Structure 1
Amino acid sequence: MDHTQSPEDAAARFLDRLSGSRRLLVAISGGSDSTGLLIALDRALRSRRLPHSLATVTIDHRLRAESTAEAETVGTLCASLGIPHHIIAWNDEKPKTGISAAAREARYRLLANAAREVGTDLIVTGHTLDDQEETVAMRATRAAEDNLGLAGMADATLNDRRFWLLRPFLSVRRQDIRDYLRQIDIGWIDDPSNEDRKYERVRVRQDRTAIDPDAIRAAGVERTELSRQAAAILRAHASSYAALLVKLPPEVIDIQSPAFQHALSTLCAVAGGRSHRPGRDSMDRLISFLATGRTGRITLSRALVERRKDGLFLMRENRDISPLEIPAGETAEWDGRFRIANRGEETLLVGPGQSPPPLPEPLGLAEGIIRHLNRIGPSVTAGKAIVMRAGTSSGSLDLEPCLPLFDRFLPAFDLDLANAVATLMGRKDYCPPPFNPY
């Protein structure tokens, strides 16, 4: 079944879904996809008299000599539409390797800066169904846990816990966008790097076989449901202490359940302070260990998983935990597990615990686990004085658990699961997407 949409229909549907009165920052490079997105959104807003407004930004990566002039050309188009336009240049020194990944990170950082300037938390990008298929093809070659990447890009992704990256054109073909622009006599800029085979995405685009869009859509629905079921497991059964340990009772261990495996891999990433779940090979080792039914321990992704008679305990592995200095007035992340804001006047040193943390009696933890928590928990000192250790608080600093798996990029597929983990770790829910409920 063909579920593709025209640019006009996709833009109208997207705008109709938005709740309240919203300001949208449209990321526009001048290529056909982002140009078609801007034009379709602008026309839909004008014809439907919706309460939303547009602003635009072009990120000039300064990777080609023509990029600055192209950004100015985009500005001319936006001015003709009466839409504010901002140009932000990536002026940092460019790496000799990994330029695509570095440019991507810079782009999202600069987009967030632009969103702050225009007073919005909604960033709209022109990713198309073609981009979606390329993304799925690229992810299929990687050892992703349970092939979660086959769901592709979510139509909404939370960036840095604040900015929603919205993709209205994931059901729109690039050729349809170009046909649309030709019909209304609006041109676009072709970036020659889009044909350069030194980039993985270009090779995938030119070499890949067709991918069924319905399969991608079904994978997205399946991933959302898997995350919902994993969240239900955590809410019903998981307990934690000071964001250092998560316990699952024996009765919830079900290695045949995809939802349990998904919850478990998520907790491993959280315990290890990782931004990605363990790979399939690592999870296979863990599942094989659990299948024996024996007590013992195993490590993966910097996490320690210990099975005892009274349940499964997940903690940070006691290895490669480096100290960190935080100057007065600054905020930093330690070990991928805690974000610490130094509100005092002295430099803080954060490292593994120096004295046993106070533990509440109801947990009934074994002495071995208590000793381990002491070794992996944060101890914060100023000079020779201990300012704070795990399980305590201090007026001179703010300490909050980090969740790198979700904090940087949180696809809407995983929002329910992310909120369940946040609650478990003593954090507030992530902000909801800006859409009306169906």
Structure 2
Amino acid sequence: MEALSKAPLAVGFSGGGDSLFLLKATLDWAKSCGRRVLALVVDHQLQADSARWTAEALARAKALGAEAQALAWIGPKPVTGLPAAARRARHALLAGAAREAGASVLLLGHTASDLAEAAAMRAEGSTVPDPRQWAPSPVWPEGRDVFLLRPLLSLTRVEIRDALAAEGETWLDDPANADLRYARARARAGGADGAVLEPEAARPPPVFAVDDAGALRLSRDAAAAHLAAALLCAAGTERPPRGERLERLVRRLRGGETFTATLAGARIEARDEVLICRDAGETARGGLASLTLAPGETGVWDGRWEIVAGVSSVTVCALQGHASRLSPAQRQSLAKLPAAVRPSLPLLLRHGAAPCSPALDGPSFAAEGGGRARLLVGGRFEAAVGLYDQESVTRCHVRGASAREPLS
């Protein structure tokens, strides 16, 4: 049997009751496995006392035996849409810190009460999703390779606080949780906190394929959720398509129509099967922006390719309009790909080296200066549709690096 991972576990810790219960449980489990636990405390800088709360949470985490790190959401805050912006900022900070620490699993203290509150919020018109027990980080590309584990979804907030009180524990209470300007606070005040709902498990599609260029192929009867995930992953974007436009796409696919369309930054070609790739038309609208990396620097181009520069700097741009600069071998490989896929492939430009695309066969990027290029589309899609159900080994589409990389 393969040995258990020794990678650290990251825990989102606010000092509130749910996260306190979670951190204590995680520390108890990690101690028996010899794993480090890193408590990550986010200061949203939205409350006058937030700095003091952060310091208290850090001290509490360290007293319990965890390593602890403070993270801050700095800069101006939006006037509208503040809860959603704060949620994205929080997830981005947590995912970045977890990955930097070598952790691929981030534990969060969502409970059965959060499931009930999300349902109540949707009933009032919100689009907030249900927290899943095991899911990839919702932010992109900051959340790549980071998975969220929510082990408390079967417990209500009342049960957790009763258990803490029985141990003589105290915890912090964020006043925002009682601020009725926010939908979640209104749902909690309306009694949703006490309800218990069963979380819905993700179900992967029965058939799909992802090629080395980042194009996905699905059957025409693919579920709407899988189509939405394919659009996001193929386009490298984070914002899902609007519900009515996705529903229209599903109806056209179910009707057997042959068509080409664009949606959410992706191109859809529906024939016997559905081809979904990056919309090359984005180049005309200012999309597919170039990325320049210093020697040894890592960056994500267009949300689809992770590039690590080698001994020299590298600029990554879209292949559209530059195919003639490729080597004969790479031009041959390019001709074998569907025409819709070709323009949005990455092209790597380095001083003193021939332009090349990591999506094509031919001399590798690594052989010419030690760089690496990793296609993110396939792994992201597999994670999004529930194919990774535990901390394990995932396959990565890599040029110039190992074809298999551990999640932790």
- Normalised by the shorter chain, which TM-score bucket? 0.7 to 0.9
Aligned residue type for 1:307:
A
Structure 1 unmatched ranges of 5 or more:
1-17
Q: Which of 288, 307, 327 is matched with 2:251 structurally?
A: 288
Separation in structure 2 between the aligned mates of residue 161 and residue 76 of structure 1, nearest angstrom: 29
Query: Does 2:121 correspond to 1:154?
Result: no
Cα offset, 1:324, TM superposition? 0.8
| Counterpart in the other structure of 1:333 | 300
Sort the Cα spacing of 1:174 and 1:361 in 2 relative to 1 into closer, same or farther, 3 A. closer
Sort the Cα spacing of 1:312 and 1:358 in 2 relative to 1 into closer, same or farther, 3 A. farther
What does the per-residue CA deviation read over 1:333-360, in whole Å, with 9 as the maximum and x for residues that have no partner?
2322223333253452512322266355
Assess if the C-alpha contact under 8 Å between 2:217 and 2:275 holds in 1.
Answer: yes
Cα offset, 1:129, TM superposition? 1.4
Determine what percentage of the aligned residue pairs are the same residue. 25
Query: Does 2:50 correspond to 1:67?
Result: yes
Sort the Cα spacing of 1:404 and 1:293 in 2 relative to 1 into closer, same or farther, 3 A. closer
What does the per-residue CA deviation read over 1:253-301, in whole Å, with 9 as the maximum and x for residues that have no partner?
4x3xxx4555444333333223355343223322333345343312222
Assess if the C-alpha contact under 8 Å between 1:269 and 1:405 holds in 2.
Answer: no
Q: Which of 77, 94, 98 is matched with 1:95 structurally?
A: 77
Separation in structure 2 between the aligned mates of residue 382 and residue 52 of structure 1, nearest angstrom: 41
Separation in structure 2 between the aligned mates of residue 117 and residue 188 of structure 1, nearest angstrom: 28
Query: Does 2:388 correspond to 1:415?
Result: yes
SS in 2 for 1:319: helix
| Counterpart in the other structure of 1:32 | 17
More displaced stretch, 110-119 vs 157-166: 110-119
Separation in structure 2 between the aligned mates of residue 313 and residue 42 of structure 1, nearest angstrom: 46
Separation in structure 2 between the aligned mates of residue 290 and residue 299 of structure 1, nearest angstrom: 14
What does the per-residue CA deviation read over 1:38-59, in whole Å, with 9 as the maximum and x for residues that have no partner?
345557789xx67556553433
Aligned residue type for 1:126:
G
Sort the Cα spacing of 1:272 and 1:76 in 2 relative to 1 into closer, same or farther, 3 A. closer
Q: RMSD across aligned C-alpha pairs, in angstroms?
A: 4.2
Structure 2 unmatched ranges of 5 or more:
138-142, 325-329
Query: Does 2:106 correspond to 1:123?
Result: yes
Q: Which of 357, 360, 366 is matched with 1:391 structurally?
A: 360
Assess if the C-alpha contact under 8 Å between 1:157 and 1:164 holds in 2.
Answer: yes
Query: Does 2:188 correspond to 1:173?
Result: no
Write the mapping of 1:35-434 to structure 2, written as runs, cut at 5 A: 35-40=20-25, 54-78=37-61, 80-81=63-64, 83-90=65-72, 92-97=74-79, 98-112=81-95, 115=98, 120-138=103-121, 149=129, 152-159=130-137, 160-207=143-190, 213-214=196-197, 216-217=198-199, 219-220=200-201, 223=202, 226-227=203-204, 230=205, 232-234=206-208, 238=209, 240=211, 242-243=213-214, 245-247=215-217, 252-253=219-220, 255=221, 259=222, 261-308=224-271, 311-321=273-283, 322=287, 323-329=289-295, 330-353=297-320, 354-355=322-323, 358-359=331-332, 369-370=338-339, 372-382=340-350, 387-389=355-357, 390-392=359-361, 393-394=364-365, 395-396=368-369, 397-403=371-377, 406=380, 410=383, 413-415=386-388, 431=406
Bigger relative contact order, structure 1 or 2, given CA contacts below 8 A and separation 6+? 1
Sort the Cα spacing of 1:387 and 1:206 in 2 relative to 1 into closer, same or farther, 3 A. same
Aligned residue type for 2:262:
T
SS in 1 for 2:269: strand
Assess if the C-alpha contact under 8 Å between 1:270 and 1:403 holds in 2.
Answer: yes
Sort the Cα spacing of 1:424 and 1:306 in 2 relative to 1 into closer, same or farther, 3 A. farther
TM-score, normalised on structure 2? 0.73
SS in 2 for 1:242: coil
SS in 2 for 1:358: helix
Aligned residue type for 1:320:
E
What does the per-residue CA deviation read over 1:362-410, in whole Å, with 9 as the maximum and x for residues that have no partner?
96x6xxx43x434332233347975113524432443322339938x95
Could you say which structure has the larger radius of gyration? Answer: 1
Sort the Cα spacing of 1:107 and 1:305 in 2 relative to 1 into closer, same or farther, 3 A. closer
What does the per-residue CA deviation read over 1:127-176, in whole Å, with 9 as the maximum and x for residues that have no partner?
221122223444566797xx9x4xx2222334434444332221111112
Separation in structure 2 between the aligned mates of residue 42 and residue 271 of structure 1, nearest angstrom: 38
Cα offset, 1:326, TM superposition? 0.6
Separation in structure 2 between the aligned mates of residue 276 and residue 430 of structure 1, nearest angstrom: 27
Assess if the C-alpha contact under 8 Å between 2:104 and 2:145 holds in 1.
Answer: yes
Assess if the C-alpha contact under 8 Å between 1:22 and 1:51 holds in 2.
Answer: no
Separation in structure 1 between the aligned mates of residue 184 and residue 341 of structure 2, nearest angstrom: 43
Sort the Cα spacing of 1:209 and 1:58 in 2 relative to 1 into closer, same or farther, 3 A. closer
Separation in structure 1 between the aligned mates of residue 114 and residue 33 of structure 2, nearest angstrom: 28
Sort the Cα spacing of 1:263 and 1:38 in 2 relative to 1 into closer, same or farther, 3 A. closer
